[in-house]
Amino acid sequence: MNILIVDDHAILRKGLIQLLLSEYKDLNIEEASNSDEVNAILHKLEWDCILLDISMPGKNGMEILKQMRLDEVKAPILMLSMHSEEQYAIRALKAGASGFLNKNSAPDELILAVKRLLSGRRYISATLAENLAESIGSKATLKHDNLSDREMQVFTMLAKGKAIGEIAEEIFLSANTIKTYRSRVMEKMDFKNLSDLTRYAIENDLVS
């Protein structure tokens, strides 16, 4: 069985590998830390499951996920994130993910999620399932639902108090590009200043 782990943190990758090998003895695990490494290895094997982190430098996990599906990668993809489910889970599932798991989840939950995907089913947590059930029939949308994936990424980084230059360096874009994204976010969400942005993010549990 072949599993691909895509995450820019080596320590986390090693932890995931140990955890998976404790459950599956005859497992072949390959690693990638960015989109270039993913492209180099993706089509060399038939993958049974892919674990993909959302927050990475350069192309983020959402962009990689969408490209994988455009390239007709059929393997189930479990998205991993430190961000709250409210922030990215629905976006990820709509983009083609087979499941979503917060990195703070217990190890047993990761194994459960992988087993679920390997059996051909999807995986979401009980909390997310409850939120989805409550939203059925409701047409109400939140302001951040209208943001693109990249705008959402910049929005949350701004809400955490990161400076333009810091964001640009972290996701490998120019400062001017980040300023453009900031302007789009402020306009789309009708914020007058960054205090409004931060307050909204806190009130909607989009930052921790």
Shared-domain flag, residues 15 and 59: yes
Domain count, the chain: 2
3-state SS assignment for residue 50: strand
Can you tell me the distance from the alpha carbon of 61 to that of 30, in angstroms, rounded to the nearest whole number?
17
Using the 3D structure, point to which of 135, 160, 193 is the last residue of a domain.
135
Considering the domain architecture, whether residues 105 and 151 belong to the same structural domain is answered as no
Q: Is residue 180 part of a domain?
A: yes
Through-space distance between the first and last CA atoms of the chain, rounded to whole angstroms: 36
- CATH number of the domain residue 150 falls in: 1.10.10.10
* Coil vs helix vs strand at 84: coil
Q: Among 115, 135, 155, give the residue marking a domain's end.
A: 135
Which CATH number do you get for residue 80?
3.40.50.2300
Q: Which helix (H) or strand (E) holds 186?
A: helix 175-188
The string of pLDDT tens digits covering residues 45-97 is 999 999 999 988 788 899 999 999 999 999 999 999 887 666 678 888 888 99
The answer to whether the CB of 174 falls within 8 A of the CB of 168 is yes
Domain boundaries, position 52: 2-135
- Nearest residue to 16 (alpha-carbon basis) of 25, 26, 6: 6
pLDDT at 14: 95
Residue 116 domain flag: yes
Is residue 208 assigned to a domain?
no
Res 135 pLDDT > 60: no
Please give the helix or strand (H or E) that residue 93 lies within, else none.
Answer: helix 85-94
Amino acid type, 80? L
Lowest mean pLDDT: which of 29-38, 132-141, 190-199?
132-141
Of 123 and 58, the structure prediction assigns the larger pLDDT to 123
Same domain for 92 and 35:
yes
Per the document, the length of the chain is: 208
Give per-residue pLDDT as tens, 142-177.
788 888 888 988 998 999 899 999 999 988 889 999
